[in-house]
């Protein structure tokens, strides 16, 4: 019997068993219930499309540590995004050095030699020798708000060097200004706050030495004081809030292909991303730019905690991306595997992560977490190993070595395996066969498809074998950000909820895309330095994610069985008692659904509905972000009612059962 047929039979038997064993609360209704995953809908954050540096990570200076280099982009070098300035006919020298850095992990810094500070009466500005950084397409600055400047400097002359730190418009209008003077011949951190006297979307940071002397500088940083939850080294408030509003149950991070990297040297190694920012190991991003890793593991875990989401770090399965070395999307010949004699050390790195996240402050790695400001454990529960890797013998051998040790030492951790980049085909089959054989608890599936495919596959998980590994649909999207894409995803998510007993988790991908810096065209949230565009896809995700349940009810919502454009689900959140109906109409005309809530002992008539609707080709843009937005209104709930869904719509009705 082939896998699919066997799966269908088992699924059918399970369904029958479920239907007869678990009845909804009342006999007058035919509704049947089953428990579904309490962690079904979450987020996947990958540092792609400038999602981290220049995006969610609120740092305003680009190339703050002078670590940009031509291996990342041919035209890049340590002074990229910096301008050497000598106003007032001043002169001096700037050089990039590596001999005595702030920290060996952060080798490049600049040396500024201020030889002459202009003193010509006809020059009306401030004369000096310095540097200017225009951030990620300039820096947005708001009147009255404070920006925290810091840098490491080492005075290399006998006399102190006086500096003026300012924020300026492109025309040189000063928006904020403070003075500093060096006082140490060792590397020392200097900091000051700059409060803006006017707003600008195109500010630059200017550091001007106004006295003769020599100094080295590195890790030059500017953060808005207002970050999400006011965290130091924190996140951009509007982007972080958009994620918090989704009430995701988990966040998978930091990728994606970013995790397994472009070759072994490019794998994402979590230990490089914790500790003081000047000690982190910056590296090339597989998506063609630079990662400061200022948004590192500590910040990811803290953000998860701040928004009540479970952290789901993904670690490389000791193999690099199969598309490494320029073999992108041609079938995976570039996978490289860590030598077997390095595996013990690599596995220890994974165990150390678990200790760092969950261990007591008295443990080696728990102490590092505490030193960073978080003595309480982070309650890590899930760990992903591998990202859509090519399922080769080298992969299997290394995955197994990691899995065996984690399972033995940390039975409390759920390990998530992987099954290639597509919903079928060689790696998918091999990945699942491997997972079945080795009883891997959860398998990560990925696919990006047309809306049509979504609509044709609404029942994909109905036939998955309930006795085998659970599914984490770690990456999925229909290709596009139009209403028709979002609604096809909504219909698909109904299928995920209906199968929430075998689909444990799901997350749309990718999450963020910065204007003019996008590598992946279909994304959930588009942004520039000051605005964000929440796509219809975002609203669909938010409406599902903020309205999750842990019990699924069948036979509550009825529709014309022959109409494949309609889909619906009913779940209950057992904590609040709220019953949540989700009704999707992916067609071009209104669709009637009948709702029978007689299985619920009590429902409160004052309910709320939220409707997202629009024409199939409508979409939001940064210029017009409000074309499609969900609208909330009061709804009068009764036990039996008919509901007319609008064409191309998602409706969520939330009904209280407890006063």
Which one, 48 or 391, has the nearer CB to ligand AHR?
48
Cβ-Cβ contacts under 8 Å for 105 (sequence gap 6 or more):
272, 278, 279, 280, 281
Sign of the dihedral defined by the CA atoms of residues 585, 590, 591, 597, in that order: positive
- Of the ranges 53-61, 113-121, 249-257, 554-562, which one interacts with ligand AHR (CB under 6 A)? 249-257
Beta strands in 507-623 (DSSP E): 512-514, 525-527, 532-534, 551-554, 557-558, 566-572, 579-585, 591-596, 606-613
Residue 606 host element (H or E): strand 606-613
Cβ-Cβ contacts under 8 Å for 18 (sequence gap 6 or more):
32, 34
Does residue number 510 form part of the binding site for ligand AHR (CB under 6 A)? yes
Q: What is the DSSP string of 381-392?
A: -EEEE-SS----
- d(Cα 509, Cα 447) in Å, to the nearest integer? 9
Would you call 388 a catalytic residue per the annotation? yes
How many residues of this chain interact with ligand AHR, rule: CB under 6 A?
13
- Of the ranges 76-84, 104-112, 197-205, 253-261, which one interacts with ligand AHR (CB under 6 A)? 253-261
- Whether the CB-CB separation of 533 and 525 falls below 8 Å is answered with yes
Does residue number 387 form part of the binding site for ligand AHR (CB under 6 A)? yes
- Judged by CB under 6 A, the residue of 47, 59, 278, 388 near ligand AHR is 388
Output the six-digit token pair for 245.
């509003």
Does residue number 509 form part of the binding site for ligand AHR (CB under 6 A)? yes
Nearest Cα neighbor of 431 from 395, 455, 377 is 395
Beta strands in 172-309 (DSSP E): 174-181, 188-195, 200-209, 213-224, 250-253, 283-285, 289-291
Task: For the CB of residue 300, give the shortest distance to ligand AHR in the complex, in Å.
Answer: 16
Does residue number 549 form part of the binding site for ligand AHR (CB under 6 A)? no
Which one, 147 or 289, has the nearer CB to ligand AHR?
289
Map residue 17 onto helix, strand or coil. helix
Cβ-Cβ contacts under 8 Å for 213 (sequence gap 6 or more):
114, 155, 156, 157, 159, 160, 161, 182
Does residue number 257 form part of the binding site for ligand AHR (CB under 6 A)? yes
Which one, 253 or 365, has the nearer CB to ligand AHR?
253
CA distance readout (Å), 152 to 182, 186, 487, 658: 10, 10, 50, 57
- Of the ranges 80-88, 123-131, 255-263, 264-272, which one interacts with ligand AHR (CB under 6 A)? 255-263
Task: For the CB of residue 55, give the shortest distance to ligand AHR in the complex, in Å.
Answer: 15
Does residue number 422 form part of the binding site for ligand AHR (CB under 6 A)? no
Does residue number 43 form part of the binding site for ligand AHR (CB under 6 A)? no
- d(Cα 492, Cα 617) in Å, to the nearest integer? 19
Does residue number 46 form part of the binding site for ligand AHR (CB under 6 A)? yes
Rg (CA), the chain: 27
Q: What are phi and psi of 523, to 5 degrees?
A: -140, 170
- d(Cα 525, Cα 523) in Å, to the nearest integer? 6
- Judged by CB under 6 A, the residue of 116, 422, 520, 641 near ligand AHR is 520
- Whether the CB-CB separation of 263 and 312 falls below 8 Å is answered with no
- Judged by CB under 6 A, the residue of 87, 107, 234, 256 near ligand AHR is 256
Map residue 345 onto helix, strand or coil. helix
Catalytic residue (one of 72, 388, 497, 619) = 388
Which one, 329 or 636, has the nearer CB to ligand AHR?
329
Which one, 165 or 477, has the nearer CB to ligand AHR?
477
Which one, 67 or 388, has the nearer CB to ligand AHR?
388
- Of the ranges 6-14, 129-137, 155-163, 250-258, which one interacts with ligand AHR (CB under 6 A)? 250-258
Task: For the CB of residue 236, give the shortest distance to ligand AHR in the complex, in Å.
Answer: 21
Does residue number 47 form part of the binding site for ligand AHR (CB under 6 A)? no
Which residue in the shown chain puts its C-beta closest to ligand AHR? 256
- Judged by CB under 6 A, the residue of 42, 311, 421, 614 near ligand AHR is 421
Map residue 4 onto helix, strand or coil. helix
How many CA atoms lie less than 13 Å away from 416 in the CB half-sphere? 27
- d(Cα 331, Cα 13) in Å, to the nearest integer? 38
- Judged by CB under 6 A, the residue of 475, 497, 578, 610 near ligand AHR is 475
Across the chain, how many H-helices and E-strands are there? Answer: 11, 34
**Per-residue binding letters, 433-472, with ligand AHR (x by CB under 6 A):** -------------x--------------------------
Contacts 24+ apart (CB under 8 A), 1-4: 3/429, 3/432, 4/463
Which one, 107 or 510, has the nearer CB to ligand AHR?
510
Does residue number 427 form part of the binding site for ligand AHR (CB under 6 A)? no
Q: What is the largest CA-CA distance in the chain?
A: 94
Which one, 135 or 332, has the nearer CB to ligand AHR?
332
Does residue number 252 form part of the binding site for ligand AHR (CB under 6 A)? no
Which one, 428 or 635, has the nearer CB to ligand AHR?
428
Which one, 253 or 635, has the nearer CB to ligand AHR?
253
**How are beta strands 442-449 and 470-478 bridged, if at all?**
parallel
**Per-residue binding letters, 526-545, with ligand AHR (x by CB under 6 A):** --------------------
- Of the ranges 254-262, 309-317, 367-375, 422-430, which one interacts with ligand AHR (CB under 6 A)? 254-262
Cβ-Cβ contacts under 8 Å for 104 (sequence gap 6 or more):
none
- Judged by CB under 6 A, the residue of 42, 107, 255, 630 near ligand AHR is 255
Does residue number 140 form part of the binding site for ligand AHR (CB under 6 A)? no
- d(Cα 303, Cα 396) in Å, to the nearest integer? 33
Task: For the CB of residue 175, give the shortest distance to ligand AHR in the complex, in Å.
Answer: 37
**Per-residue binding letters, 163-192, with ligand AHR (x by CB under 6 A):** ------------------------------
- d(Cα 453, Cα 444) in Å, to the nearest integer? 19
- Of the ranges 75-83, 252-260, 271-279, 304-312, which one interacts with ligand AHR (CB under 6 A)? 252-260
Which one, 387 or 414, has the nearer CB to ligand AHR?
387
Catalytic residues: 388
Q: Which residues bind ligand AHR (CB under 6 A)?
A: 46, 48, 255-257, 387-388, 421, 446, 475, 509-510, 520
């Amino acid at each position: 019997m082939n896998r699919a047929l066997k799966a269908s039979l088992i699924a059918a038997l399970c369904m029958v068993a479920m239907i007869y064993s678990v009845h909804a609360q009342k006999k007058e209704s035919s509704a049947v219930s089953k428990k579904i995953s309490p962690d079904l809908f979450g987020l996947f954050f990958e540092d792609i499309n400038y999602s981290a540096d220049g995006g969610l990570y609120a740092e305003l200076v680009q190339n703050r540590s002078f670590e940009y280099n031509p291996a990342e982009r041919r035209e890049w070098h340590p002074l990229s995004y910096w301008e050497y300035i000598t106003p007032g006919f001043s002169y001096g020298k700037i050089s990039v050095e590596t001999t005595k850095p702030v920290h060996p992990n952060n080798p490049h810094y600049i040396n500024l030699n201020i030889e002459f500070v202009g003193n010509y009466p006809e020059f009306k500005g401030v004369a000096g020798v310095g540097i200017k950084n225009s951030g990620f397409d300039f820096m947005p600055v708001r009147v009255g708000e404070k920006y925290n400047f810091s840098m490491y400097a080492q005075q290399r002359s006998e006399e102190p060097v006086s500096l003026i730190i300012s924020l300026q418009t492109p025309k040189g209008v000063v928006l904020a200004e403070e003075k500093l003077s060096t006082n140490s011949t060792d590397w020392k951190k200097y900091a000051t706050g700059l409060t803006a006297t006017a707003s600008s979307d195109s500010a630059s940071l200017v550091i001007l030495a106004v006295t003769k002397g020599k100094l080295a500088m590195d890790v030059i940083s500017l953060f808005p004081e207002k970050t999400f939850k006011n965290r130091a080294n924190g996140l951009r408030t509007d982007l972080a809030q958009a994620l918090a509003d989704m009430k995701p149950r988990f966040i998978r991070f930091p990728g994606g292909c970013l995790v397994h990297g472009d070759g072994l040297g490019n794998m994402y190694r979590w230990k490089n991303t914790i500790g003081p920012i000047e000690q982190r190991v910056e590296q090339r991003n597989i998506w063609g730019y630079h990662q400061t890793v200022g948004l590192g593991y500590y910040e990811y875990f803290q953000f998860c905690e701040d928004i009540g989401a479970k952290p789901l770090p993904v670690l490389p399965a000791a193999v690099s991306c199969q598309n490494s070395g320029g073999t992108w999307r041609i079938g995976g010949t570039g996978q490289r595997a860590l030598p077997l004699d390095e595996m013990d050390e690599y596995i220890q790195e994974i165990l150390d992560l678990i200790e760092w996240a969950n261990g007591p402050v008295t443990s080696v790695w728990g102490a590092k977490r505490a030193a960073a400001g978080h003595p309480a454990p982070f309650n890590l529960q899930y760990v992903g190993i591998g990202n859509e890797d090519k399922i080769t013998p080298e992969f299997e051998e290394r995955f197994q070595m990691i899995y065996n040790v984690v399972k033995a030492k940390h039975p409390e951790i759920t390990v998530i395996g992987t099954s290639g980049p597509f919903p079928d085909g060689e790696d998918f089959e091999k990945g699942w066969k491997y997972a079945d054989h080795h009883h891997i608890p959860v398998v990560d599936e990925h696919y990006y498809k047309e809306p049509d495919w979504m609509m044709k596959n609404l029942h994909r998980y109905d036939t998955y074998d309930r006795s085998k590994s659970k599914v984490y649909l770690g990456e999925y999207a229909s290709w596009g950000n139009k209403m028709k894409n979002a609604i096809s995803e909504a219909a698909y998510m109904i299928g995920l909820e209906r199968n929430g007993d075998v689909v444990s988790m799901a997350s749309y991908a990718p999450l963020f895309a910065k204007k003019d810096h996008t590598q992946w065209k279909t994304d959930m949230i588009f942004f520039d330095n000051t605005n964000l565009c929440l796509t219809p896809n975002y609203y669909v995700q938010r409406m599902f994610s903020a309205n999750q349940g842990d019990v699924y009810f069948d036979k509550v919502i009825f529709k014309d069985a022959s109409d494949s454009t309609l889909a619906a689900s009913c779940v209950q959140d057992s904590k609040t008692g709220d019953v949540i109906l989700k009704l999707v109409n992916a067609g071009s005309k209104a669709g009637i659904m009948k709702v029978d809530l007689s299985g619920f002992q009590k429902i409160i008539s004052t309910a709320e509905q939220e409707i997202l609707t629009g024409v199939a080709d409508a979409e939001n843009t940064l210029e017009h972000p409000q074309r499609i937005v969900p609208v909330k209104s009061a709804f009068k709930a009764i036990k039996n009612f008919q509901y007319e869904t609008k064409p191309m719509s998602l409706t969520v009705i939330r009904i209280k059962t407890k006063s």
